[in-house]
Amino acid sequence: MTTASDTLLDGTHTVLTPEYVEFRFTLAGLYSRFLAWLVDGLIVAALTLTIMLALSVVMMAFPGFGSALLAVVFFLVEWGYSIFLETVWSGRTVGKRVLSLRVIQESGVRIGFYHAALRNLTRPVDRLPLFYLVGGVTALVSGSHQRLGDLLAGTIVVRERRLKVPSALGASGEEGLLADPLFVSRVKRLSTEERELVLSAALRREELRLEARLRLFSALGARLQDALAMEKPAHLSDEKWTLLVAAALLPSNDGASRSRPPRRPTASATSASSR
């Protein structure tokens, strides 16, 4: 769990939703980012060394071609490692996962290939004149600990914290609706952004003030009715309706599977309050 001292040390990034609800993310400090970079650097070095050994025969037989091939392979490993993992692993590399860090957009949603590529291809500039001096200074003076690559890509690096699935999701009391194939199939067709929004609201609803909570679930309830092309049952509140949609997004192979936590949709918000 993120403590108050960690929040003060690392800083926070606030995202205001269209419903005027603030979600605050704990920014990763330079020390934790350095450790994550060190882990990733060791992995990249090991991969590069392995590939060099594998290509040694080619380099000895064809020195010119081997050198060119080595340069291409080095580029692909050096930059492809981070770009590929951050794209397919929701803003994480092995080092970031070990340190519980994640790259997200400034708007609070997950990054895509464009953001991962832009922030990583800018690393040569961040490394100038040596050992990430430009990137480190930029991160120190920027408001959200962003190096040049983050500023260009519109990304931030945040800390994650694990959240438990609310008991309401495991025991919804509306098994009839959850067993309805039409309802479940339409829920499964929700966009990635809509899924993240629903799961984030379900996981963090207890952190919201009452006014913000009512406003958020009112907007979500109306949006889900449009997205699912289904009317909300009259006896369900907007919050209960949203929780049912979240429950339908969880693994449903058996009854016990609904009590297991879902994948965290984005980096975790540390707290939320209404303006």
Q: What is the pLDDT of residue 24?
A: 76
Task: Name 14's bridge partners.
Answer: 24
Mean pLDDT score, 67-82 = 85
Instruction: Give the confidence band of 46 by pLDDT, cuts at 50, 70, 90.
Output: very high
CA distance linking residue 80 with residue 117, whole number of Å: 9
Closest CA to 221 of 244, 254, 250: 244
Rounded to 10 deg, the angle between the 210-228 and 192-204 helix axes is 150
Distance of CA 98 to the CA centre of its chain: 14
- Give the count of beta carbons closer than 10 Å to the beta carbon of residue 26: 24
H, E, C per residue of 249-260: HCCCCCCHHHHC
pTM above 0.75, yes or no: no
Q: Radius of gyration of the chain from Cα atoms?
A: 22
Rounded to 10 deg, the angle between the 192-204 and 238-249 helix axes is 120
CA distance linking residue 36 with residue 29, whole number of Å: 11
> In this structure, what are the phi and psi dihedrals at residue 99, rounded to the nearest 5 degrees?
-90, 5
Q: How far is CA 130 from CA 46, 121, 205, in A?
A: 22, 16, 45
Ramachandran assignment for 100, one of left (phi > 0), alpha (psi -120 to 50 degrees), beta (any other): left
Q: What is the pLDDT of residue 234?
A: 83
- Answer whether 154's CB lies under 8 Å from 20's CB: no
CA distance linking residue 166 with residue 163, whole number of Å: 9
- Does pLDDT of 230 surpass 50? yes
- The pLDDT tens digits of the residues spanning 145-181 come to 999 999 999 999 999 866 555 555 544 445 567 788 8
Stretch (H or E) spanning 193 = helix 192-204
CA triple 122-128-132, angle to 5 deg: 80
Q: How many residues does the chain have?
A: 275
- The pLDDT tens digits of the residues spanning 178-227 come to 788 888 899 999 988 888 888 888 887 777 777 888 888 888 889 999 99
Q: What is the pLDDT of residue 258?
A: 41
Q: What is the pLDDT of residue 200?
A: 83
- Does pLDDT of 2 surpass 70? no
Instruction: Give the confidence band of 117 by pLDDT, cuts at 50, 70, 90.
Output: very high
